[in-house]
């Protein structure tokens, strides 16, 4: 294991980012937004020196920076914006940028489903609630962040841990092994033939990886138990919602 100071490539950008977010979080009085955004930019450039896409295609690279940078910037804007409507819209942008990253990684169905569920339904519900709740303008306690110091520290500790793990697994070797699992030799598992990508074209080696049918086979092959479990949880939630909903005398809305 490396001692902490050797990890400065990760620690410095994470600390700078934390500083930036802490300075930009809404509070009473003036925010030091120039210094904050400068710190944030330096942190982003610093992170870029360690994690960057390995592909060497200018179009793909450009799209990656567009979506990745868009997601990070919109995320910061979402938590630092004072106006809740704008915060909800920044959240929608975060979702859309993430969906762009999914598309770049050959997961079109995941990206479309995320757009439908998050940007198209959940954020719309948020906006709906905000429009109903904030008609007279935001209250003072809504204009400043609650516990900005604690929130920033906790968030960026987690982020730093994730960055470190990604960096370690990228380097491979001894570091890439799972740290907290017993190191037993895992028996060779025969892959499930149902979930293997099928070859569509023998000559070009084209497979149906990432297409809808391969996702379907994977969901109902490898992940059948998880899918059924999620379905049951949703069913229970639906029953609970119906049970909790108030009954009116007229039986109408």
Partner 1 sequence: MELLKNPLIMAGVTIAVVLGGILGACSYLIWLERKLSAWMQDRLGPNRVGPMGLLQPIADGGKFLLKEDVIPDHVNKFLYLMAPCLSLITTMLAFAVVPFGPVSHAPGDFPFVIAPGIDLGIVFVFAVGSLAVYAIILGGWASNNKYSALGSLRASAQVVSYEIPLGMSVVGIALLNHTMSVEKILMYQAEQGFAGWNVWYQPVAALIFFTAALAESNRLPFDLTECEQELVGGFHTEYSAMKFAMFFLGEYTHVITISFLTSVLFFGGWHFPVIAEVGSPWFLKVGVLLLKVLLIIVLIQMLRWTIPRFRFDQLMGLAWKVLIPMATLNVVIVMCVLEFELPRFWLLPLSAGLFATVGLISTQGSLPQRSLTAAPTAAHGHGH
Binding site for partner 1 (CB under 8 A): 85, 89, 92, 108-109, 111-113, 115-116, 119-121, 124-125, 127-128, 131-132, 211-213, 248-253
Q: Which is nearer to partner 1, 11 or 85 (CB)?
A: 85
Provide, rounded to whole angstroms, the least separation between the CB of residue 196 and partner 1: 18
What SS3 state is found at 207?
Answer: strand
Provide, rounded to whole angstroms, the least separation between the CB of residue 152 and partner 1: 28
User: CB–CB of 14/131 below 8 Å?
Assistant: no
Q: Which is nearer to partner 1, 108 or 221 (CB)?
A: 108
User: CB–CB of 126/91 below 8 Å?
Assistant: yes
Provide, rounded to whole angstroms, the least separation between the CB of residue 128 and partner 1: 5
What SS3 state is found at 199?
Answer: strand
Rounded to an integer, what distance in angstroms lies between the CA atom of residue 239 and that of residue 228? 16
Please give the full DSSP string across 77-131, using - where no structure is assigned.
HHHH-SSHHHHHHHHHHHHHHHHHHHHHTT-HHHHHHHIIIIIIIIHHHHHHHHH
Q: Which is nearer to partner 1, 182 or 251 (CB)?
A: 251
Provide, rounded to whole angstroms, the least separation between the CB of residue 213 and partner 1: 7
Q: Which is nearer to partner 1, 191 or 251 (CB)?
A: 251
């Amino acid at each position: 294991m490396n001692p902490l100071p050797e990890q400065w490539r990760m620690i410095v950008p994470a600390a700078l980012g934390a500083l930036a977010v802490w300075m930009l979080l809404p509070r009473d009085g003036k925010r030091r937004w120039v210094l904050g955004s400068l710190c944030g930019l330096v942190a982003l450039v610093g992170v870029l020196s360690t994690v960057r896409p390995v592909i060497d295609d200018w179009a793909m690279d450009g799209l990656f920076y567009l979506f990745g940078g868009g997601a990070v910037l919109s995320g910061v804007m979402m938590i630092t914006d004072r106006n809740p409507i704008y915060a909800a819209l920044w959240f929608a942008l975060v979702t859309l940028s993430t969906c762009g990253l999914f598309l770049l990684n050959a997961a079109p169905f995941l990206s479309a489903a995320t757009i439908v569920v998050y940007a198209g339904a959940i954020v719309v519900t948020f906006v709906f609630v905000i429009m109903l709740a904030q008609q007279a303008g935001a209250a003072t306690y809504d204009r400043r962040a609650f516990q900005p110091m604690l929130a920033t520290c906790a968030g960026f500790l987690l982020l730093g841990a994730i960055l470190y793990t990604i960096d370690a697994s990228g380097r491979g070797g001894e570091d890439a092994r799972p740290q907290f699992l017993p190191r037993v030799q895992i028996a060779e598992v025969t892959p499930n033939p149902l979930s293997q990508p099928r070859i569509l074209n023998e000559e070009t080696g084209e497979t149906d990886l990432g297409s809808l049918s391969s996702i379907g086979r994977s969901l109902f092959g490898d992940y059948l138990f998880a899918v059924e479990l999620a379905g049951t949880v949703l069913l229970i939630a639906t029953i609970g919602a119906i049970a909790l909903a108030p009954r009116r005398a007229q039986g109408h809305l």
